[in-house]
A and B are shown apart, each in its own frame.
Chain A
Amino acid sequence: MELKTSTSPEQLATRILEALVEFGADPDAMSPEATLESLEIDSLDMFELAQILHQEFGIEVNPDDFEDVTTLGDAQAVLLGYLK
């Protein structure tokens, strides 16, 4: 599946947040500084997020890119980077 070049950063950001809420993250607790751990987002959630982004946007998530990711802002930066 190829990357859908028509995807806007806003579309992707919205879908990411929607997915995290779906996984159980508290919307009120979401901020760029919030750690994924505090949002109770773990590696299985990130795996499912990768499935969603591949199916819907053609994005191939590389788990190595998340080695230094601790906050929601970190994760979003990595994921939005795939659109470049």
Chain B
Amino acid sequence: MAVLDIGHRIPYTDGVDTNGDQANRVASSEGCALVTGAGRGLGAAIAEALAAERPVCVNWNSDADGAAEVVRRIEAGGGRAIAVQADVANRAAVDAMFDRVEAELGSVLVLVNNAGIRRDLPAGFLEPEEWERVVAVNLTGQFNTVHRALGGMVRNRFGRIVNVSSISAVRPLPGQSAYAAAKAGVEAMTKTVAIEVARRGITVNAIAPGLMNTGFVAEMDEDWSAAMPPRRIAEPEEVAALVRYLVSDEAAYVNGAVLNIDGGLTAGLAIFSPRGRPAPAGIALDDAP
């Protein structure tokens, strides 16, 4: 074992940033953004919103054509983007994606965890494999990317992480045991990591959208607009605008927050459903005014 001479003032402190705990080493406009599940819907809207500021990796796993179209739109708008396939539940695939993105676009200093799946079934019907897959993608997948991204963010003294949760984390619908549990886990992870890395110029926040005008809602049998306080569901671009704020310099002090963006859906005690079926908040009042 080498004997270390550390009993005197070490000479190499000259030129070393000794007050760098919070001083960003990079401009906040540097680095790239990585958006998971960005081939369609909210992820696509977020990728396009962030592309105005920095290069974007459009992660996808099942929608190659959608991701290619998102890249095409970003490039048509003068931005820079690449589409990279990776199952976020697979740690090796996430590492390979980051390796490629860092080589082609630079450090990932903005990470938006949007990839998610649902398998809504009553708990008694939900097979263990279905539970595990929902948790693996929605919760472990977010941890996998956060785990990989933190090293670069810490070294750069700058980072923005936005994890997409859901109002289901606190107001689940029947059948959402796996999805709601995963999203509640996302919120707990968000808060924990946020306080771990805050002093390195990194913020970690979550957003909890309500219903959005995406493919999922389009496939629903009924129009839920009337159950929403604004009598409409959100456009993905409205939610993407919140993400764009959270990754901005102006949001540097917003950390560890879970921001609902649901038109007020979860603000009230009851959600009125004119059809009398359980509304998204779990309480239905027939013939409500």
Contacts and interface: CB of A to CB of B under 8 A. Distances in A.
Contacts of A14: 10, 12
Contacts of A22: 16-18, 20
Given A18-B16, A44-B199, A51 B10 contact: no
Contact of A31 (B7, B13, B155, B199): B7
Contact of A21 (B10, B155, B196): B10
A69 interface: no
B9 A27 contact: yes
Interface string B168-197: 000000000000000000000000000011
B2 A44 contact: no
A23 interface: yes
A6 to B, nearest CB: 15
Contact of B13 (A23, A27, A77): A27
Contacts of A54: 151
Interface string A71-82: 011001100110
B20 to A, nearest CB: 6
A25 B180 CA distance: 43
6 contacts: A17-B12, A18-B10, A21-B10, A44-B197, A44-B200, A47-B150
Interface of A: 9-10, 13-14, 17-18, 21-24, 27-28, 30-32, 43-44, 47-48, 51-52, 54-55, 72-73, 76-77, 80-81
Nearest to A17: B10
Nearest to A11: B2
B154 interface: yes
Given A32-B4, A48-B154, 20 more contacts: A9-B1, A9-B2, A10-B2, A13-B2, A13-B4, A17-B4, A23-B21, A24-B20, A24-B21, A31-B6, A44-B154, A44-B197, A44-B199, A47-B151, A48-B155, A51-B151, A55-B155, A73-B4, A77-B1, A80-B1
A38 to B, nearest CB: 14
Contacts of A18: 10, 12-13, 16
Contact of B4 (A52, A55, A76): A76
